[in-house]
Amino acid sequence: MEGAGPRPAAQVGLGWVLPREDGGGSGATYAPCPGAGGTEREIHMSMGQEYLVEIRGLRTTFHTEEGTIPAVSGVDLTIRRGETLAVVGESGCGKSVTALSIMRLIPSPPGRIEAGEILFEGRDLLRLPEEEMRRIRGNEIAMIFQEPMTSLNPVFTVGDQIAEVFMFHRGMGRREALEHAVEMLRHVGIPAPERRVREYPHQMSGGMRQRVMIAMALACHPKLLIADEPTTALDVTIQAQILDLMRRLKEELGMAILLITHDLGVVAEMAERVVVMYAGRVVEEGDVYSVFRNPVHPYTEGLLRSIPRLDEDRERLPAIEGTVPSPGQMPRGCPFHPRCPYATDTCREVEPRLEPLGEGRAAACHLAAERLAGEGVV
């Protein structure tokens, strides 16, 4: 693309790739979302695809000895049918709490979803009876948790744990459910599934356990898969295999994926759109190519600058100064201003709202318009 400036490198699998604008070929296969431009609501841009999930004003808090702490504060995001949306940010930014809120798995006490709507195909999940929500979990919406070793039950075989999904949601008998469990293990690439179905989690490697988690999550062909750090603690070879598997299964099943990660290389490999969170808030969103090429929010810029680059010789990687503020001691104004090199007096006094910027992008920054006018910030 002429005049576009350098594109950011991203670590994927065994090496580094550059985002491709046309979405063709191998490597990072994403492109600007088609049909960008028309607005459906104040923030989120309609691109001719029906929304599968709409989250509006989500606020989730936890009661502690220090008082009620907001882990997620006013989050708005949408997921379209068949797309992969990545949510990125540092630890403690609210990514996993957002995912658990969608599933209504926030432990109570001490957690509580205080406000907002989570619309799934037009149904507000927060207002459904628990019995109906149980029918949705694992059936229409499934989740892969961060650590498969602690997510799988150590005293049951992996076959029994997958079969339980078929028995609960499809009403199958145990024998038929185990036959389907074997097929699911085969589908996710586990060799000798007839033997593996009788094994316990501790008998499998980390990569195999993650495949079991994927098989369990996809057993009922969900419309939405929430993947919370699906490649954590896996080496880069296995990470690449798991990402390839998820991408293949997404195309086969036509499902949407909400990908929770802090790895921008995984975002480049997997997602069409990205939402950046900081201190429990959405600070930027847009298609992956545009956000990587020209980040608007200084926090997004800092994340991208910290990625190792093949086209630059650096002795040290730039780091974002300071630390994430405690949810109970949030600074006045923009939550990021104590760490922001561009902060102004307005930033220190007034908290910015997430505002649309056109072309499917939005950012919560007082300097967003002038920063968007720049090209190739990273």
Judged against a pLDDT cut of 60, whether residue 7 lies above it is answered with: no
Q: Give per-residue pLDDT as tens, 191-236.
A: 999 999 999 999 998 888 888 988 899 888 899 999 998 887 778 8
Instruction: Give the pair of three-digit tokens for residue 27.
Output: 């490597």
Instruction: Give the pair of three-digit tokens for residue 117.
Output: 């709507």
Rounded to whole angstroms, how far apart are CA atoms 232 and 324? Answer: 21
At 19, the amino acid letter reads P
pTM: 0.81
- Left if phi > 0, otherwise alpha if psi is -120 to 50, otherwise beta: which for 360? left
1-14+39-140+221-378 belongs to which homologous superfamily? P-loop containing nucleotide triphosphate hydrolases (3.40.50.300)
Say how many C-beta atoms besides its own lie within 10 A of residue 350's C-beta: 13
Judged against a pLDDT cut of 60, whether residue 255 lies above it is answered with: yes
Instruction: Give the pair of three-digit tokens for residue 183.
Output: 């097929």
Q: Give per-residue pLDDT as tens, 137-159.
A: 989 999 988 776 678 899 999 99
Average pLDDT, the chain: 83
DSSP letter string over 31-95?
Answer: -PPTTTT-BSSSSPBP-SS-EEEEEEEEEEEEEETTEEEEEEEEEEEEEETT-EEEEE-STTSSH
Greater model confidence, 44 or 54:
54
254 alpha-carbon distance from chain centroid = 17
Domain ranges for the chain = 1-14+39-140+221-378, 155-219
Binning the chain into helix, strand and coil, the percentages to the nearest 5 are 35, 25, 45
Q: Give per-residue pLDDT as tens, 62-117.
A: 998 888 889 999 999 999 999 999 999 988 888 999 999 999 999 888 999 999 99
